[in-house]
Chain A
Amino acid sequence: MLLALLLCYGGFTALCLSMDRHHADVLGRKPSARRRHVMKFGGWLLLGVSLWAAVCATGWGLGLVEWFAVLMLSALLLVLLLPYRPRLALSLAVLSLLASPVCAVLM
């Protein structure tokens, strides 16, 4: 479940940064069109991979439930962090993406 959580959080952050307004809020400028597309694609890919990670870990029944749970939690966490601590939200995403391969190897 931890791996799925890390991937979901990273994925949502990427999707969030693919939107002009949020990118400008967090990083101070609008993203280039190319960057927007990369972020969007990467975000969806990460969400997809997190589903795969959750289902691989515990099977379809429990895996789907756990995936939905971390999906909701990670989005909620990101949205609550963004207005108060945008930098922290961003560094958490970087950290979770860095930690996810380690997590995948250990599990």
Chain B
Amino acid sequence: MKEGFRQAMAWLHTWTGLIFGWLLFAIFLTGTLAYFKAEITHWMQPEIPARTLSSEASLTLAQDYLQQHAAGASRWLIDLPNAREPGLTLRWQQAPAEPGKRGQFTKKTLDPQTGTDVQGRETMGGDFFYRFHFQLQMPYPWGRWLSTIAAMVMFVALISGIITHKKIFKDFFTFRPRKGQRSWLDGHNAVGVLVLPFHLMITYSSLVIFMSMVMPASILAAYKGNAEAFFDELFPESNRPTAAGQPGQLIPLAPLLERARAQWPEGQAGSLSVNNPGDANASVVLERDGAEGVVHDFGRAVTFNGVTGELLSTTPALPVPMAIAGAFYGLHMGNFAGPVLRWLYFICGLAGTAMIGTGLVIWLGKRQLKHAKSGVMPFELRLVEVLNIASMSGLMVAVVAFFWANRLLPVGMAERANWEVNSFFIVWGLSVLHALLRRGRAAWVEQLALAAGLFCAVPVLNALTTPYHLGVSLVQGDWAMAGFDLTCLGSGLFLGWAAWKMQRAGRATSVPRARVRPVPLEREAT
């Protein structure tokens, strides 16, 4: 009975892992990259200088700029610069042409020191990986649904994997390299078991983040089908006052930061929104930087009257259920993490990616053994092989192609940001084609070697196309820029090592295969 149950779980683990493995590999890898979203964006928009300045000074600059350029707007949104995102981002919304519609948004990035417009090259930056890892470049809401389904399957695969694994404690420290299929399984178990807390947290929290989408029944039942009413009650600060129609003088915004700080013992404002600036009914909402604690503070805000400066309202501390949801949200995003912890998040993400990758390799390896003698693979195994190659090594090449496109596409090109994304998908598509045309191992080696070469050359490319090469960024202490170059170099070396290993392993197995091959030929002849 017990063995039967375990076998059933093994079956479940095998097949859920295979069907969703390719997609999950991409979700995990891009999600892992998204931990360095701001740093990737900084590398991809090197024109925006990295400087740290006081929030007050930047806010004064922002207010001056908006008063000059967007006095008539219905709303200003100001994102203050922080250590990871050095630009001062301003957005403003025009009053909608017709009531009930959304007004048009304009976005500008300022240099927080001089207050002048910075023209960063058009790019999605690290946001591309972040968006892709839960939207999958599909129209809303299909990508979100697919990634949420993938998360559920991941959860099933994790639980069934734990049940299938017979000797979690006995094999806890076991990794036996250079033993072929055995080593892959050891590796799969090691990254699975040792980093299990992360896997469970990241998978479960992704379901919590999309819970109103996955399980809307309780909301729809309690609010009589009107989900909007639920969110209005949950986030009251999103209700905006209407303009009075009479002009009013907006107070200086910078001193409000200090007053907001008085409300939050150890927090500070991360962004501001000004409703109806220049109107008698203006209000200023300071939203707390949600990245300060492990528990993400959803929309914790203080509101001031924009003309008199009177404190209008503060949102109360989070109720327990929201704090729990906030904890999962915060844990998943890791916004609170400092540099060291962020790297640990990154390593855990890579371990998750490796777990999925090794799982896919094991599935194929086990079944390939049966056909090793004949040397001919049935169609379905060949399909899995092609998808394995394209989804793993092909994705690596696509990621690095995205970075190359950022440096090589002309700065003034129309639709530039889109073409960066397109080059990612074009290269990924080509990797499928390449995997179809070449024999399995050759395709692996060539794609890994290509990715390795491109990654290793990223620092050189950066030095040739921008003035922010390693010699400059290291001296200036621009760690995001230097770290990106060095991480690319490191990834390139690792992929190069993987390609070399793959080729050597191929040589070791191709010798007996050459001896075996004449046998079926003779049989065919007779």
- Residues on A lying within 8 angstroms of B by beta carbon are 1, 12, 15-16, 19, 22, 61-62, 65-66, 68-73, 75-76, 78-80, 82-84
Contacts and interface: CB of A to CB of B under 8 A. Distances in A.
Nearest to A69: B344
Given A22-B173, A72-B195, A72-B197, A79 B190 contact: yes
A69 B341 contact: yes
A47 to B, nearest CB: 13
Contacts of B336: 62
B270 interface: no
Contact of B341 (A1, A22, A82): A1
A102 B46 CA distance: 42
Given A1-B341, A65-B331, A72-B348, A84 B173 contact: no
B175 A79 contact: yes
B190 A76 contact: yes
Contact of A76 (B170, B176, B341, B351): B351
Interface string B257-277: 000000000000000000000
Contact of B295 (A61, A78, A79): A61
Contacts of A62: 293-294, 336
A19 B294 contact: no
Contacts of B216: none
Nearest to A75: B194
A80 B347 contact: no
Contacts of A78: 173
Contacts of A79: 173-175, 190, 194
Contacts of A75: 172-173, 194
Contact of A83 (B170, B175, B191, B194): B175
Contacts of B348: 69, 72
A82 to B, nearest CB: 6
Interface in B134-186: 170, 172-177
A86 to B, nearest CB: 11
B20 interface: no
Contacts, number: 60
Contacts of A80: 175, 190
A23 to B, nearest CB: 11
A19 B340 CA distance: 32
A65 B195 contact: no
B197 A71 contact: yes
Interface of B: 170, 172-177, 190-191, 194-195, 197-198, 293-295, 331, 336, 340-341, 344-345, 347-348, 351
Contacts of B194: 72, 75-76, 79
A84 B351 CA distance: 19
B198 A68 contact: yes
A48 to B, nearest CB: 16
Nearest to B176: A83
B177 A84 contact: yes
Contacts of A76: 190-191, 194-195, 347, 351
Contacts of B347: 73, 76
B173 A19 contact: yes
B183 to A, nearest CB: 9
Nearest to A74: B194
A66 B194 CA distance: 15
Nearest to B197: A68
Nearest to A81: B175
11 contacts: A12-B173, A69-B348, A72-B197, A72-B351, A76-B351, A78-B173, A79-B194, A80-B175, A80-B190, A82-B173, A83-B176
A71 B295 CA distance: 21
A61 B175 contact: no
B329 to A, nearest CB: 13
A16 B173 contact: yes
Given A70-B344, A72-B198, A76-B195, 9 more contacts: A1-B340, A16-B172, A61-B293, A69-B344, A72-B348, A72-B351, A76-B194, A79-B173, A79-B174
B294 A61 contact: yes
